Chains A and B, each alone.
Chain A
Amino acid sequence: MLDNALRSNRLPAAPGVGYKPQHFAQILEHAKPVEWLEIHAENYMGDGGRPLAQLRHLSEQFPISVHGVGLSIGSEGPLDADHLARLKHLVSWLNPASFSEHLAWSTHDSHFLNDLLPLPYTDATLASICDHIDQVQETVGRQMLLENPSSYLAFEESTWSEPDFLREIARRTGCGLLLDVNNVFVSATNLDFSPQGYIDAYPLDKVGEIHLGGHDEDEDDHGHPLLIDSHGREVVNPVWALLDYVLDRSGPKPVLVEWDTDVPDWPVLREEAVRAQTALERIPA
């Protein structure tokens, strides 16, 4: 369980975007209403050069969120100690406003698969994930936020609902949560549950950050809609509506727009941040 002194999420309850190096100059010139930036930790684990120089520069002007995509917290086996050490190094060097990772696995048997893979929600996986999060928070020396996945399938063996599973992880480890609203919408569509029902069951008081992103539309073998979390386009209207639903209940939170493939020019991404700003401003006082 985490010491209270280590709870140090300092992101503002304002719009942020996922940082892409091609936007570096424009962000310095015309960031508004973007107030903070998120980076993928693994892209800044080289020894030096332009990536780290740009990050150092940006961190002097913006709160930075370090978002890991490769720690594989959901692995059946132990965490990769080398990778954990790299994360600790990056977080100590940058002292970011927030640090987050995923409820997923990506490494097995020393192979990194470069995707966020799903796991069943059982008492056994709960215990193992909590052990891993304890280890991460102790090693890195601060609280982490854990993000809900987008799901394309279900595990027969699961005995926990996802909101209950996340709530119990947060209770046992003291970690915070990163609520990806697009992931909730994608999973709800794919697995036939109500996204509002998910939010109602979800511990919004643990949320340190909200994610939004675009998804693609496909179908499964039976013609059932299958949404794919691609981060390659604008956030769709039903996801903005779900964000409103969340913010009405949670109050203001840091809201991030992710756009990772077919990355658009800065004004297009900035426009998404304007929409997030509008959503934050309309929250009743």
Chain B
Amino acid sequence: MSVSQTEFQAALLDAQVPVPSGLTDAVEQPAGRRFSVYRNNVAVSLTEAMHQAFPVITKLLGTQNMDGLAGIFLRQHPPSSPLMMFYGEEFPNFLADMPQLSHLGYLPDIARLELALRRSYHAADSQAAPEDALAVSPDAVMQARLTFAPSMRIVRSDWPIFAIWRFNTEAGAPKPGAQAEDVLITRPEYDPVPQTLPSGGAAWIERLQNGETIGGAFEQTAAETPDFDLGTTLALLLQGGAITSVTIERLET
């Protein structure tokens, strides 16, 4: 009796599926509980990977609830690659689709923030642009186009995700308020640093990522967000080493 990997896998991921026949102990009795070692290894190792990937979600929900959710998630979304460092990409949407969690509307965005922090941690190294790269005339600054570090990430949210994240990772952090927060992640060396962006900052950075100039992006952003604070946004990027190059086209004379 031969056992295909399709059969083996189906029984691994669903304890209701009988253990394939053809698997035995040393005296040819059915494998029974011995098969559970593999079932257990798969479930426990993937649950552990979820705990590591989403420590704040785990803290917010409690370990037991997280284990329960991970058990459902790992069967709906087994990893699609052996790179466990990136496991859980579908988790934010999975959380959003859970009716039992609808009263915790911020959870999916917290999960997105945790994913972005991991992506930043493993992103390629890069060299920040020299400190004086933007020490040019104000007109020239407005004409500049920027490229950003691969480790830079932006997570936009209608929830106070940075405050919630900080409250659950940092002793003595202030209690979260009710304001929407967009988060900028930079990685000055090896540890990703999340910070809140001023209102309009995320939209402005995204315009620059699409090739817009500092000035062009500013005009469009200020039209939507009149109090957009360009100076603070630019300072966060510079301090985090997130700007890797500055290109200024020669001005018409």
Contacts and interface: CB of A to CB of B under 8 A. Distances in A.
A153 B31 contact: yes
B122 A156 contact: no
Interface in A228-275: 228
B32 A221 contact: yes
B78 A48 contact: no
Contacts of B32: 220-221
Given A43-B85, A45-B83, A115-B42, A153 B78 contact: no
A114 B25 contact: no
A152 B33 CA distance: 10
A46 B25 contact: no
Interface in B8-26: 8-9, 12-13, 22-26
Interface in A178-228: 190-193, 218, 220-222, 224, 226, 228
A220 B23 CA distance: 14
A117 B38 contact: yes
Given A47-B150, A153-B31, A221-B33, A114 B79 contact: yes
Contact of B1 (A51, A106, A118, A156): A156
A108 interface: yes
B98 to A, nearest CB: 22
Interface in A4-63: 42-43, 45-53
Given A70-B82, A115-B45, A226-B34, A191 B25 contact: yes
B64 interface: no
B125 A114 contact: no
Nearest to A71: B82
Nearest to B9: A108
Contacts of A50: 121, 190-191
Contact of B38 (A53, A120, A152): A152
B9 A113 contact: yes
B232 interface: no
A190 B22 CA distance: 17
A226 B25 CA distance: 10
B34 A114 contact: no
B58 interface: no
Contacts of A118: 38
Contact of B125 (A48, A69, A218, A228): A48
A47 B122 contact: yes
B23 A153 contact: yes
Interface in B35-58: 35, 37-38, 41-42, 45-46, 49
A75 B26 CA distance: 24
A131 interface: no
A157 B1 contact: yes
B253 interface: no
Contacts of A86: 83
Given A49-B187, A113-B78, A156-B28, A120 B2 contact: yes
Identify the interface centre among A42, A113, A226: most chain B CB within 10 Å of its CB.
A113
Nearest to A54: B190
B29 A222 contact: yes
Nearest to B74: A114
A160 interface: no
Contacts of B22: 155-157
B137 interface: no
12 contacts: A48-B151, A80-B81, A108-B5, A111-B78, A113-B79, A114-B41, A114-B79, A117-B5, A157-B3, A220-B32, A220-B34, A222-B29
Top-7 shortest CB links A-B: A70-B82, A46-B122, A50-B190, A192-B26, A47-B124, A48-B125, A153-B31
Given A42-B82, A49-B123, A193-B26, 14 more contacts: A45-B85, A46-B121, A47-B122, A112-B82, A114-B46, A114-B82, A117-B8, A155-B23, A156-B22, A156-B28, A190-B34, A191-B26, A220-B25, A220-B33
